[in-house]
Amino acid sequence: MNGILDGFRDFFQAIREINQKYKTPRIKTTRMVTISLLMLRIYLIAMLLLLLYTFISTVVHQIIP
């Protein structure tokens, strides 16, 4: 059991190290690139919310006909 927990700890530690390494961007971006990336992030969040809503409404309609 300790081997499995150690594996998870190592995995999450590796993720933390990667996030720390790339915390600050190394390249300069223009204002248009920053705005485009923000719009893309908002679009992706909206698509995830739409997918979640569709999933929940489908499950509810299957349970309560």
DSSP letters, the chain, are: -HHHHHHHHHHHHHHHHHHHHTSS-SS---HHHHHHHHHHHHHHHHHHHHHHHHHHHHHHHHH--
pTM (2 d.p.): 0.60
pLDDT attached to residue 23: 87
pLDDT at 4 over 80: yes
pLDDT tens across 13-64, in order? Answer: 999 999 999 888 888 889 999 999 999 999 999 999 999 999 999 998 888 8
